[in-house]
Chains A and B, each alone.
Chain A
Amino acid sequence: MPDNVKFADLDVGATIPAFSKGPITRTQLALFAGASGDHNPIHLDDEEARAGGLPGVIVHGMLMMAVLGQMLTAWVPQSRIRKFSNRFASMAVPGDTINCAGKVVGKRQENGENLVDLEIKAENQKGKILLSGAATVAVD
C-alpha cells in the first residue's frame, strides 16, 4: 500500500516517486485491446495501421495513461485522486518503455481537503514526451 503522504511535507517543486513500465509488447497491446474494449485495428494490425497513415501499430493512448495512473496509485491511495488528465503528445510503438514523472506545482485547501496539484508526464526511453498532464490529489 502507498505510504502516508502528508500535506505539510510536500513543497511546491518537490518530485513524486518516478514509475516505469516496459518495454511494451505486441502481446500486451492485444491483451489491453481485449480488456479495455478498444479494438481499433491501429493497435493490432500493421497493415490496417499503415492504411490509416501510421508507420505500423501504435500503443493505445489509454494504456500509456493507465501506466501514468499507476505512478499516482503507487504514491497515494486511489480514492485520494480527485482529477487526472493528459494530452497524448506523441505515439509510442511496441518496444518502447514508458517512464513517468511528476512534481508538485500547487497546494491549496478546498472543501476541507488538502489538495496537491501535480504536473505529470510520461516519456519514452529516448526522452520523447508521450503524455503531458496534470493531477490533483487529496492528502492528510
Chain B
Amino acid sequence: MEIEALREEFMGREYSQFSVLVEKGRIAQFAKSIGSENPLHFDDTVAKQGGYRDIPAPPTFAFTITLDAGQSFNVLEDMGVEKTKAVHGEQGFTYLGDICAGDVITGQQRITDLYDKKNGALIFVVTETLLENQSGDAVANLHSVIVIRNG
C-alpha cells in the first residue's frame, strides 16, 4: 500500500451513522472483565445516589460502543488489511456527558488523517467519532490511531 494512494482514496471518508443500545448487563460484564469492583457499574441505587441517571459505563466503554458498531474493523476491511496486521496506536476520549445503561448512542466515524513512518513500513490511520445520546446531546468524542504493518 502506497501512502499517497491511500490518502487519495480514504482521507475524509465518513462511515455510515450507527446506533447502539447500551445494556446494563453488558456494562457489568465489561466492568468485571477490567477487574473493576466499583459498585457504580453494578448497582443502580449506588449509581443514582452518585448523581447518575442510571448505571454509568466505565470511561473506556465508549470505545466498545464503536467496536459493536464495527467501526475499527470497517476501516481495515475497507483497506483490505488482515486484523492481525493492525495494532492500536493511540486512543483518546473527550468526555462531554455521561453514557448510562439504557442510552441509545449514535455516532459516525470519519478518517481524519493517514500517514506513514519507517519508509512506508507502518501506516497510521487516524479517525474521529462523535457520540451522541438519544436526546441529541454529545457525550464523547473519540480519537483513534490504528497502526498497520504494511507488507
Contact = CB atoms under 8 A, between A and B. Distances in A.
Interface in B23-46: 26, 29-30, 32-36, 38, 40
A79 B52 contact: yes
Interface in A69-83: 69-70, 72-73, 77-79, 81-83
Interface string B102-118: 00000000000000000
B59 interface: yes
Chain A interface SS verdict (over half): helix
Interface in B77-114: 82-95, 98
A39 B13 CA distance: 25
A41 interface: yes
Interface size grouping (class) on chain B = 35 or more
B88 A83 contact: no
Contacts of A37: 64, 67-68
Contact of A85 (B38, B40, B91): B91
Contact of B91 (A62, A70, A77): A62
Contacts of B67: 36-38
B143 A1 contact: no
Interface residues of A, number: 41
A52 B147 CA distance: 13
Given A35-B26, A61-B91, A78-B58, A42 B35 contact: no
Nearest to A28: B33
A1 B40 CA distance: 9
A62 B63 contact: yes
A73 B50 contact: no
Contacts of A77: 50
Nearest to B62: A84
Contacts of B35: 21, 28, 67, 70
B56 A78 contact: yes
Interface in A54-96: 54, 61-63, 65-67, 69-70, 72-73, 77-79, 81-88, 91
A83 B95 contact: yes
Given A49-B84, A52-B85, A70-B34, A84 B92 contact: yes
23 contacts: A32-B34, A35-B26, A35-B30, A35-B64, A36-B33, A41-B83, A42-B84, A52-B85, A62-B63, A62-B64, A62-B91, A63-B33, A65-B60, A66-B60, A69-B58, A70-B38, A70-B58, A73-B58, A79-B98, A84-B92, A86-B91, A86-B92, A88-B89
5 interchain residue pairs of minimum CB distance: A52-B84, A85-B92, A37-B67, A66-B34, A35-B33
